[in-house]
Structure 1
């Protein structure tokens, strides 16, 4: 018996939806809506199930993005993508790991919905322009223009140099060790002078209401935390080494952007509504 194409491509469909939405919960809702539509389709009329399903997920995700835009206008403090526990081998696919990183998802958040959809489908999943056009409801010529604009936008905001997984982990381990010592100088040595800390508590947990700039200020803030009240572990989040914090008062995740051996961005998520998918690795695939 042939396995249902939806089941076969479920990991791919979830990844597409997650990269477009930055939220696993919303991506799962989109998959559910797509499945309900797929269940009523005459399969004999579907010549390429994979392309059909990606197109359906994209359209559902675009609809969801309009709702999310209104919801995020009322969000308290900084909004960060929902972190996901991932298998270490996700990092083996460098382009996939980069595309699902918290840093990249944060950049994608600055694109318009159609620009984001086109960028994800074309640049990450290498879909032909005509298939992308069918998914977003535009002509191939228009999609080429959108893709060029989105590429330029992302290129201007993403790091110029890719960091190997081993180098990334080494810096994260050094950060964790410095965090435990609580010494400001140790923390500052790992961070770039112009480091930025972005914290997302969603108005539920205490978090900086705006980005914190500068190594000394960030280090001073981190050193002031009660180190006896939590424990840290190094995990793979969104395809890269990161830190998971467990505490009686609630948990958090800390992801990093690293350039030239130093941390340039710190993304700290403590909103409990975004920390529900950290026990089982997500199935992210291309």
Structure 2
């Protein structure tokens, strides 16, 4: 099958997924509302206390300082939230019989998965814009220049691409939509055991070691550095490396499942 044919089929499947998003907006609304609720909860309920304990504040930090600290973590949580929705939509396709019908048609087989991934990345971009606008409305102000913001957006899209391939695999491996909605929940939990909400230095020794060496921490540290105008240091390379590794593993796993496992 030619490359042009594959691209055309992938574009068709992308259009299909975008139409699903437009016609059934409830899932997208829920996935966007969740990080916004976390932002409000942590800033207005815990922000006063947590802001005072931030490094370099000497007890003088406030909710505004904590808002600057937490916003990159909330943007990351937005990416993981949308990725969770992709596992659900993929499992829905696998359990309703539409995949079996697609397999009888003269289309590029992996275009179905490509449509899910590209649609999820576009939905992630829209969700990030909405959540970022909400954070700005609350008073968030970063010191990054245009290149810093461009780098942050690029990194978020790379992370979205990587996590989406991973959750596509989870959706394919699930035996039901309910299972697919629960399997990726660790992607929502891991940001809480990272540098998203508090500095890792404030954690107990064992938990701190885990938080500092899990994949999400360098990603969030890099996002925070980019939007605040700070130096990214080695976290940037760890963030890019982990994203590439997750994307490759997710793609190979998803491809293997889709090509070898019969539609459910």
Short-chain TM bin: under 0.3
Which is richer in strand? 1
Which is richer in helix? 2
TM-score by length of 2: 0.24
TM-score by length of 1: 0.23
